[in-house]
Chains A and B, each alone.
Chain A
Amino acid sequence: MEELKKMLEEKYPAIDFDSEKSLVTDGILDSIEVVTIISEIEDMFDISVTMEYIAPQYFESVETMWGMIEELQ
C-alpha cells in the first residue's frame, strides 16, 4: 500500500491522502484524475481494472484503492 500511496502523493501533492477518505464523493478527484490513477495502477501492479471496479467506492481513499488492487490480484 505504501507504494500506491507514494505514487498518489507524487502525482497529486496537494491532496492529503492520509486524511481524505471521500476523494470522489467530495469532488477532490474528478473523472479525468480517476482514469489517470487507473492507468498508473494498471502499470504499477500489472493488473487490468475492469468496469466492475470503476465505481466511486473503490477510489474514495488509498485504503479502498488498495482493497481493489488486492481483489484484482
Chain B
Amino acid sequence: MSYQSFAFLLFSAVTLILYYISGRHGQKWVLAAANLFFFVSAGAKYLPYLAVTALVTYLGALCIGRVYKKADEKLAAAETQPEKKEIRKKAKSKAKCFLLLSMLVAVGLLAYCKYAGFFTENLNRVLLHFGVPQIETFKTVLPIGISFYTFMALSYILDVYWKRYTAEKNPLTYAVYLSYFPHVVQGPIDRFNEFKEQIKDGVKLSYRNITFGAQLTLWGFFKKLVIADRLGIVVDKVIAGYADYDGIIVILALLLYSIQIYADFSGCIDIVSGISEMFGIKLRRNFNHPYFSRTMAEFWRRWHISLQEWFKDYIYYPVSASALTKKVKKFFKKRSMKRAEELFSSCFPILVVWLITGIWHGAAWKFVVWGLFHAALLIGSLVFEPVFKFFTRILHLDTDNFGWRFIQMARTFLLCCVGRIFFRADSLAHGTALIKKMVTDTTPAVLAYFDFTSFGFSWKMIFVLCAALLVLLVGDILQENISVRETLAKSNLVFRWSIMLLGLIAVIIFGVYGPGYDAASFIYEQF
C-alpha cells in the first residue's frame, strides 16, 4: 500500500474514524491493529523481522532498566566512594552486555537483509582473483521499512542505556512506536520519548489537527504527483539513455533530478506528517527548505533532518567520545599540535558518519562514493576555514548581502547535484560514464534547438510543470519566513477553502497517474 495510493487514503480515513471513536484507552489498540494491517498488506513475510527487532530491543531495554534499578538500590546502601564506584562499574558492564546483545540482533538482521548479497558478491570478486572457488550469493528479502525501524529501535535502547529516559514497560506503546504506519517506511526517524509523550494520555479530536494535517497532506501530494513524478519521466529517460543525448541535456537532467528527489521525498514526508497530524501525533521535522542553504554543513542540517540528527547523536558523538579518538587527540596534544588535534576530533567522526550514511542508503559502491564525496566536502570546509576567512577579510567581502548569499546557495545546490550523479546512477560505472559524457560531450547551444516535447510532454504540460515549480519555490520562500498554515487559518473562510480546492483540483488534473509510469514508488522507499 503506497503512501500516495487511493487505498492508503481510504485506510487512513477508516483508521482515523476508529481512532477517535475508540476513546483514550482504545486509541493505542486501533493504531496497533492499523500498523499490523499496513504491514500485512505490504507482505506478511516482512512481519517476523519487525517482530524480532521490536521484541529484542524491548526486552533488552527492560533488562538494562532493571540493572540500573538494582544498582541504584545498592548505591543507596553503599557508604564509601570506592564501593559506589565498583557498583557503578559492574552495573555499566552488565547493562552493556544487554545493549550489545540487543544491538547485535537488530543490526545483524539489517545487515543480513540489506548487505549479505553485496558482501558475498564482493567476496567472490576477491576469491576469483586468488583462484579460490566461489561461494553462493545470499538471496535475501528486504523487509519494508527495515532501515528506518532498526534505527528507531537502536535510538530507543541506546537512550535507555545512556539514561536519557527509562525503559518502557508497556509492550503495546513500544510496538505502536516502532511500527507506526506513517513513519515506518520512509521516516522521519522519530524518538521514542517524544512519540510516547504524544500518545500516553490519548488524543482528542481537534478541528485544527484535521485541517492542518489535510493541508500538509495536500501539499505533499502536489509535490509528489504534479512535480516529482513529472520530472521523473524526463530524468529516467535521459539517465537511462544518456548516450543518445548531448552532455548539456544530461546536466539539465541531473539538475532536474535534484528538484525531483526533493519534491518526491519531502512530498512523501508532508503526506505522512499530515496524516499523522490528523491523529494528533506530530512527527519529527525532516526538511527545512534545504536548497536555501549557504554551506554543505547547513544543507545537511536542513535535509533529511531526522536521519542527520540520528547520526549526530548515535554515531558522531560516540565516535568523538571514543577511546580511539581520545588517544589520537592526546598524541597531538603531547606534541602541541593544537590545530591537528581540533581537526582530528571534528574530521574523523565526520568520515565515519558519512561512510555509514553512504552504506545506509544502499548496498552498492556508488553510495560509498557518494558518502565519501560529502565527507570530503565537509572536511575540506573545516580544513580550509581559516583560508576562506582570510580571503573574506582581505577582500572586504560583505557575506551577508543578498548577492553573496545567493552565490553561496547556488554553489551549495550545484555541489549537491554533483554528489547526486552517483546517487542517481545505476552503478559506479554508470556514474563515471555520466560524468564523462558531461565533461567531454557538452554543447550548450543544443539547448536552443532541443525538442523538449520529445519526452512525451506537450508545451502545455511543460508550462504546467514550470508553473508548479514556481508554486514550489514561492511556497518554500513563504515557509522560510512565515507559517503558511497559521496564516491560512487566520484568513477568511472563502479564501482558505478556495486555496484548498485549487490545490486539490491541481493535484487531480495535473498529477501524473498515467500507465507506463509507476506512480506508486517513492525514491526513498528503496532505502
Contacts and interface: CB of A to CB of B under 8 A. Distances in A.
Interface of A: 27, 30-32, 34-36, 38-39, 43, 49-52, 54-55
Interface residues of B, number: 20
Given A31-B312, A31-B316, A54 B321 contact: yes
B301 A51 contact: no
A35 B346 contact: yes
B320 interface: yes
B329 A39 contact: yes
A30 B297 contact: yes
A39 B164 CA distance: 22
A51 B333 CA distance: 22
Contacts of B200: none
Interface in B301-347: 301, 312-313, 316-318, 320-321, 329, 333, 341-342, 345-346
Contacts of A50: 321
Contact of B382 (A32, A51, A54): A32
19 contacts: A27-B301, A31-B312, A31-B316, A31-B317, A32-B297, A35-B316, A35-B320, A35-B346, A35-B349, A38-B321, A39-B341, A39-B345, A43-B333, A51-B162, A52-B162, A54-B317, A54-B320, A55-B162, A55-B313
B81 to A, nearest CB: 13
B163 interface: yes
A52 B163 CA distance: 6
Given A30-B297, A32-B346, A51-B317, 15 more contacts: A27-B301, A30-B301, A31-B317, A32-B382, A34-B317, A36-B342, A36-B346, A38-B320, A39-B341, A39-B342, A43-B333, A49-B321, A50-B321, A52-B164, A54-B321
A35 B313 CA distance: 12
Contacts of B320: 35, 38, 54
Interface string B152-175: 000000000011100000000000
Nearest to A57: B164
Nearest to B349: A35
A50 B164 CA distance: 13
A50 B297 CA distance: 25
A65 to B, nearest CB: 15
Contacts of B162: 51-52, 55
A51 B346 contact: no
B374 to A, nearest CB: 15
A52 B64 CA distance: 14
Contacts of A35: 316-317, 320, 345-346, 349
Contacts of A43: 333
Nearest to B319: A35
Interface string B287-306: 00000000001000100000
Contacts of B164: 52, 55
Contacts of B329: 39
A54 B341 CA distance: 20
B162 to A, nearest CB: 5
A51 B321 contact: yes
Contacts of B382: 32
Contact of A36 (B313, B317, B345): B345
Contacts of A49: 321
A19 B382 CA distance: 28
A36 B341 CA distance: 10
A20 B341 CA distance: 28
A34 B317 CA distance: 9
A39 to B, nearest CB: 6
Contacts of A32: 297, 346, 382
Closest 8 CB pairs of A and B: A35-B320, A54-B317, A32-B346, A52-B162, A31-B312, A51-B162, A52-B163, A39-B345
Contacts of B297: 30, 32
B415 to A, nearest CB: 19
Tell me which of A31, A39, A54, A55 has the highest count of chain B C-beta atoms within 10 A of its own C-beta: A31
A69 to B, nearest CB: 15
B67 to A, nearest CB: 15
Interface in B142-193: 162-164
Contacts of A54: 317, 320-321
Contacts of B163: 52
Nearest to B341: A39
Residue from A38, A43, A51 having most chain B Cβ neighbours under 10 A:
A51
A46 to B, nearest CB: 13
B403 to A, nearest CB: 22
Contacts of B316: 31, 35
Contacts of A38: 320-321
